[in-house]
Amino acid sequence: MSGGDGYLSSHLWDTSDLYRNAVTELLEAANVMKLDPNIAERLRVPKRAMIVSVPIRLDDGHIKTFEGYRVQHNMTLGPGKGGIRFHPEVNLSEVAGLAMLMTFKCSLVGLPLGGAKGGIRVDPSQLSRQEAQALMRRYTTEINMIIGPDKDIPAPDVGTDSRHMAWMMDTFSQEKGFAVPGVVTGKPIEIGGSLGRAESTGRGVVYTIQYAVQFLKDNGKSAPKIDGGTVAVHGFGKVGAVAAEEIYHLGAKVVAVSDASGGIYNKNGLNIPDVMKWVEKNRVVAGYKEAEPISNDELLALPVDFLIPAAIDGVITMKNVGRVKAKIIAEGANGPITADAMKDLEGRGAFIIPDVLCNAGGVIVSYFEWVQGIQNFFWSETEVNNKLAEVMSNAFKRVTDNYLKYKCGMKTAALITGVDRLNKAMLLRGLFP
């Protein structure tokens, strides 16, 4: 049989825009860096996936079965790593695309980890605490043969948090007969979590914005100032709220933030710690007094210096990209800008900090949590933050070196950085059998 029939689409994986987008970006990077086509052929599909049915008894006594997934994209560099998403529209293809992004993210920041992702097709806002716990525990049991501290280590993602990780760790440990804290990261501190993990992704987003401003200045380009600069944040969850708070404390004017219920706007800048208190009580940003309402679409089109899309994928597409005016866009979420929209933005002079670099703070501190757990030796938050900044600034430098070398977009440069390390490792390990 001869190869060389190009990249055939797959009937199984590529049903979501997110997956197709990730493959398009991979192939673009492969083309620019002149990657060995045999390596690209192996990277364009996941290594393994598990689809499970997750039946639970609801509070009203009925049994309902949910669909769950865990996809391991590539484990050349180490155990799989990636979050678990609770979302009503999550599907196998989307999880596979997110797992692929995790492979490149872990590789580009230099971690000894591979890429994985999981999800359950459920609307978490409709679950009681008891139902969420039952769902997480049963899902853990269903996938327990492919996860573990040396195999694949889940973490929180959209719709899940440290409580879900505690339930997952407990269920896995009950089945083993002893405590296995290393099976998950993003755990509560009391059971082996790391200081600074909860804030790490949002904090890392703001580190990369600082590095981007400096990089532009160093290369003779105009760059907005953070102190006094204007910011809009799309998505006010674990990533968006922390990023908004961090940049607010650096003196920026965060003029708008939003969540799934809509947004709020104040041209003089929102008091972010106060908005966070409001959200703690009311769950959504809508209704906050010192602001006027704004739609998510309007927020994306604001003439701000910095835009942080930190909610979900596919929010800036060819349909709305023409209205986006921000000078620096930091992809806090995974895949918020489609590949074609990104080309359009860069063509118009916007500087984009791509997801695999911008939101890598979470997986970096997850790695620190895993390392601290293995050693049973825990670091102070200052130590965690200093090490996070060091890893992120080195990664930013590697990506911008490739950006200048290949004269390509930042996303392509980031993928080249990740794929290059993987390529060397895959060639050294060879193809079994």
- Helix (H) / strand (E) containing 253: strand 253-259
Residue with Cβ nearer ligand NAD (171 or 334): 334
Determine the residue with CB nearest ligand NAD: 237
Residue with Cβ nearer ligand NAD (196 or 224): 196
Residue 201 C-beta: closest distance to ligand NAD, Å: 4
Q: Is 309 in the site for ligand NAD (CB under 6 A)?
A: no
Q: How many residues does the chain have?
A: 433
Could you say which of 76, 93, 133, 296 contacts ligand NAD (CB under 6 A)? 296
Task: State how far the Cα of 187 lies from the Cα of 210, in Å rounded to an integer.
Answer: 28
Could you say which of 72, 359, 385, 402 contacts ligand NAD (CB under 6 A)? 359
Residue recorded with tokens 């999880």:
95
| Phi, psi dihedral angles at 394 (to 5 degrees) | -65, -40
Could you say which of 76, 194, 334, 423 contacts ligand NAD (CB under 6 A)? 334
Short-list 358, 393, 405, 334, CA closest to 29: 405
Residue with Cβ nearer ligand NAD (279 or 426): 279
Query: Which range touches ligand NAD (CB under 6 A), out of 169-177, 268-276, 331-339, 368-376?
Result: 331-339
Could you say which of 22, 56, 291, 312 contacts ligand NAD (CB under 6 A)? 312
Task: State how far the Cα of 24 lies from the Cα of 41, in Å rounded to an integer.
Answer: 13
Q: Is 158 in the site for ligand NAD (CB under 6 A)?
A: yes
Residue 361 C-beta: closest distance to ligand NAD, Å: 7
Q: Is 421 in the site for ligand NAD (CB under 6 A)?
A: no
Residue 390 C-beta: closest distance to ligand NAD, Å: 19
Return the SS3 of 362.
helix
Residue with Cβ nearer ligand NAD (243 or 422): 243
Q: Is 103 in the site for ligand NAD (CB under 6 A)?
A: no
Give 320-326's long-range contacts (Cβ < 8 A, gap of 24+): 321/345, 324/300, 324/350, 325/301, 326/232, 326/302, 326/350
Q: Is 333 in the site for ligand NAD (CB under 6 A)?
A: yes
Which of 81, 117, 253, 411 is the catalytic position? 117
- Give the CA-trace dihedral at 304, 310, 312, 316, to 10 degrees: 20
Q: Is 277 a catalytic residue?
A: no
DSSP string, 52-101: EEEEEE-TTS-EEEEEEEEEEEE-SSSSEEEEEEEETT--HHHHHHHHHH
Could you say which of 46, 115, 159, 224 contacts ligand NAD (CB under 6 A)? 159
- Helix (H) / strand (E) containing 130: helix 129-143
- How large is the angle between the packed helices 197-218 and 240-249, nearest 10 degrees? 60
Q: Contact letters (x/-) for ligand NAD, 260-279, by CB under 6 A?
A: x-------------------
| Phi, psi dihedral angles at 43 (to 5 degrees) | -80, -15
Residue with Cβ nearer ligand NAD (114 or 332): 332
Q: Could you tell me the two tokens for 243?
A: 């990023």
Q: Is 368 in the site for ligand NAD (CB under 6 A)?
A: no
# binding residues, ligand NAD (CB under 6 A): 24
Q: Contact letters (x/-) for ligand NAD, 224-243, by CB under 6 A?
A: ----------xxxxxxx---
Residue 86 C-beta: closest distance to ligand NAD, Å: 8
C-alpha atoms less than 13 angstroms from C-alpha of 195 in its C-beta half-sphere: 11
Question: Are the C-beta atoms of residues 414 and 108 closer than 8 Å to each other?
Answer: yes
C-alpha atoms less than 13 angstroms from C-alpha of 23 in its C-beta half-sphere: 21
Could you say which of 99, 311, 357, 414 contacts ligand NAD (CB under 6 A)? 311
Where do contacts with ligand NAD occur on this chain (CB under 6 A)?
Answer: 156-159, 201, 234-240, 258-260, 296, 310-312, 332-334, 359, 362
- Active-site positions read 117
